[in-house]
Amino acid sequence: MSKRMIKFVLNGKPIELEVEPELLFVDLLRERLGLTGTKVGCGEGDCGACTVLVDGKNVNSCLMLAVKADGHDIVTVEGLGDYDKLHPLQEAFIAEGAVQCGFCTPGMLLSAKSLLDVNPHPKREEISRHISGNLCRCTGYTKIVNAIEKVACQGGGEDRE
Amino acid sequence: MQFNYHSPKSETELAALLNGMEDYCLLAGGTDVMVKMKEKLISPRNLVDVSGIESLKGIRETAGSLWIGPLVTHRELMDSPVMNKKTAALCLAASEVGSPQIRNAGTVGGNIGNASPAADTVPALLALDAKVQLNSANGSENLPLDKVFVGPGRTCLKSGQYIAGIHVSPVAAGEGAAFAKFGKRKALACSIVNGAAWVRVQGGVITAARIALGSVGPTPVRLYETEKWLVGRKPEPAVFAEAGLQAEQSVRPIDDVRCTATHRGKLARVTVQRCLEAATKQAMEVCVCE
């Protein structure tokens, strides 16, 4: 099947490329663009390790065809912060011990960001509910919720300038 | 996965494309279709992505009815102010689908088209008397939602037809609706049993009712007999209990990995009982909705 040209914004930068229609968005990120922060866990939309933000909303990139990125604004964990300048959520996850094996962390961070961007001061149960599509088999979630709550108490998750 | 990918941008284009096309599958949010394709349960030669068709999106209030575009996501439904005001039970059902990620992608039309007996929005839609508009190049027809399902994963849609819209009745003063679900966990849990009820109460008696259950048979079901039985009765605990018992006796659930058939029957009883209780309570509240 013929390739399709797609245009979208990835971590703030416009990008244009040709993709096969059967290519999954997560494979485009990891294998073609080298952005391996987005993980593949179950591959069926259950675990949330592949979570990315599409127009600010958390979705499973393992269930998304790359062609569907066309025209959208997409943020992956690479768009949150870097080694020199971490995002407040990343700092809080480290400080609160919310990272163990780390496999769920990128997806967890993005789900947290999608919550704080629309609801900067969520209640604990709203946090739990919002990360219910991100499985963590290490932490037991308490420290992850603590970390997100910490950022919420500091005034939400807006990007640092 | 191997398929020809099509992305029509209008309903006219979609209808023309589907007319005569063989071996196709419609793609909206992808939360069911992609999983089925990955697991090789389906391998359509043509994948028709309808997500770019604007006329299939949005929620509109028309005279005495609410129109839900089939591409409305579960998230949009649960966040919609008008739907929360007029069909809160449906918003609750939408909020119980999958996870936040699934709700951001999955659509109401997809939930119907996928025809899972456990679909969460379906019992709520049935209780709200949903009608589905099916369009094709050859015309248009309106069907009550329960006529759409013919088996697990199977709908009555003929080749070339697509879901063009869903109409539901808003819950008016003196009426109430409720949804309930039993799952293994609080999130990402396929329903063991789900259900919804709608009632109208006038002069202290039930004058009309609709009850729907999911995951208790090959398709979601309406409990027409019990609905008729309820008419003229007082909305009181003994009546709800009897209605629940009727539900338990009428459904034909299966044993599966999530639950035994016997236990599903008991959950059907509790679901109907609780939904009727909550729906009548809402119906008898002094109206604060205007």
- Domain residues for the domain of B8 are 1-49
pLDDT band for A2, please (50, 70, 90 cuts): confident
SS3 state of residue B193: strand
Burial code (b: 16+ CB inside 10 Å, e: under 16) for B170-196 equals bbeebbbbbbbbbbeeebbbbbbbbbb
* DSSP letters spanning B39-108: TTS---SEEEE-TT-GGG--EEEETTEEEE-TT-BHHHHHH-HHHHHH-HHHHHHHHTSS-HHHHHH-BH
- Residue to mutate among A24, A40, A68, with most B CBs inside 10 A, is A68
Residue A8 sits in the same domain as residue A68: yes
pLDDT at position B290 is: 45
pLDDT at position A161 is: 38
Whether B135 is in a domain gets the answer no
Residue B24: list chain A partners with CB under 8 A: none
Whether pLDDT at A89 is above 60: yes
| Mean pLDDT, all residues of chain A | 94
What CATH number is given to the structural domain containing B238?
3.30.390.50
Whether A158 is in a domain gets the answer no
pLDDT at position B285 is: 87
How far does the CA of residue B107 sit from the closest CA of chain A (Å)? Answer: 13
Q: Which tokens belong to B269?
A: 């009883």
- Domain residues for the domain of A137 are 88-153
Neighbours of B141 (CB within 10 A): 13
SS3 state of residue A12: coil
Compare all CA atoms of chain B with the CA of A20 and give the residue at the minimum distance: B5
Whether B58 is in a domain gets the answer no
pLDDT at position A113 is: 98
Half-sphere exposure of B115 (CA within 13 A, CB side): 17
B36-65, pLDDT tens digit by residue? 999 999 999 999 999 999 999 999 998 889
B243-285, pLDDT tens digit by residue? 999 999 999 998 898 899 999 999 999 999 999 999 999 999 8
Q: Does B5 sit within 8 Å of A67, measured CB to CB?
A: yes
DSSP B200: E
How far is Cα of residue B135 from the mean position of the Cα atoms in its chain? 19
What CATH number is given to the structural domain containing A119?
1.10.150.120
Whether pLDDT at B185 is above 60: yes
Whether B90 is in a domain gets the answer no
What CATH number is given to the structural domain containing A71?
3.10.20.30
Give the closest of B51, B100, B188 to A46, CB-based. Answer: B188
SS3 state of residue B126: helix
Q: Does B38 sit within 8 Å of A43, measured CB to CB?
A: yes
Q: What is the pTM of this model?
A: 0.94
A25-47, pLDDT tens digit by residue? 999 999 999 999 999 999 999 99
* ipTM score assigned to the predicted complex: 0.94
- Can you state the percent helix, strand and coil of chain A, rounding each to 5? 35, 15, 45
pLDDT at position B289 is: 47
Question: Cα–Cα distances in Å, from B217 out to B67, B128, B235, B238, B267?
Answer: 28, 20, 27, 26, 13
